[in-house]
Structure 1
Amino acid sequence: MVEVYIDGASAGNPGLSGAGVFIKGEGYVLRKSVPLGTLSNHQAEFAALLEALKLCAEHEFKILSIRTDSQIVADALEKEYVKRSSFETYLTEALKLIDIHFDHCFTKWIPSKQNKEADVLARQAIQMNK
């Protein structure tokens, strides 16, 4: 099992945004910063989830423990439901990726202080937009 830490960040809401992905386990430590253009904070969190799932699929990881400090992302994955229609596309794509590529995918909400690595990567990604 790999631990997958994700974070989305925006400079403004909406504003220039970035995704940070930090993966550790099974002999791996992977870090990725992805500039996302202009998104809301919540959209950036969902985009970070998608980037993480794609990266894990590329590396053929099969069991994931996703850690996020975004309650909305954690709840959406657990309930397979979002209230706002603007997040439906993100959730649908995430669930599809999970179904196709992974044997097990657990999601856990964590406090921001436990998500520092992904936060730093997301903030670096914001700067990559410029």
Structure 2
Amino acid sequence: MIHCDGSAVPNPGRMGLGAVLTAPDGTRHSLSTQAEGRGCNNEAELRALMAALQEARRHGASTLVIHCDNSVVVGQLAGTALEPFVRLAALFEEVRSELRSFASARLVWIPRHRNREADALARAAVGLMPKNPVPAGKHRP
């Protein structure tokens, strides 16, 4: 199982990549790195996913369930998005190709609050503190 997230600071800006990989036996591996160059949050999300897929392959994974909180990325990769994301088309295709190289790879959208650990790793990669959770019933201005 993979939980992945990307951060761009500012947006666009430096990109932080974060992921948590959990093997069937419960063994966990974390990934927190800054990507080369500058990009937007969607590019950071894609690069985080690619880094997580490569790390999963290094650990011998063949079947994956991937959790991502970016609906644009999930929609584009699932082919359900209404409009193509032209600027990142080559990167989307590279990720699709990597996904197809696994025996099974299922990408699942999850809400942001269920992806806090991957988010904290992505933010740490660019020197940011984790986001504080919003208390139930409270909204940020």
Give the TM-score normalised by structure 1: 0.89
Structure of larger gyration radius: 2
The residue matched to 1:127 in structure 2 has which SS?
A: coil
Are 2:7 and 2:44, in contact at CA under 8 Å, matched by a contact in 1? yes
The answer to whether the Cα contact below 8 Å between 1:18 and 1:35 also exists between their aligned partners in 2 is yes
Larger relative strand fraction: 1
Look up the match of 2:65: 65
Length, aligned pairs only: 125
CA RMSD of aligned residues (A): 1.7
> What SS is found at the alignment partner of 2:127?
helix
Structure 1 residue 16: Cα displacement? 1.4
Aligned counterparts, 1:1-130, within 5 A: 3-27=1-25, 28-36=27-35, 37-79=37-79, 83-100=84-101, 102-127=102-127
Greater helix fraction, Structure 1 or Structure 2: 1
Give the unaligned 5+ runs of structure 2.
129-141
- 1:12-47: per-residue Cα shift (whole Å, max 9, x none)? 111111010111132220101110142111110111
Deviation at 1:80, TM superposition (A): 7.8
- 1:105 alignment partner AA: A
SS at match of 1:18: strand
Amino acid paired to 1:26: P
Higher RCO structure (Cα 8 Å, ≥6 apart): 1
* Ranges of 4+ aligned residues in structure 1 off by more than 4 Å: none
Q: Which digits, 9 at most, give the CA deviation of each residue in 1:79-129, with x for residues without a partner?
A: 1876122111111111211222x111111100010001100100111129x
Judging changes above 3 Å, is the alpha-carbon distance between structure 1 residues 80 and 50 closer, same or farther for their aligned structure 2 residues?
Answer: farther
Structure 1: runs of 5 or more not aligned:
none
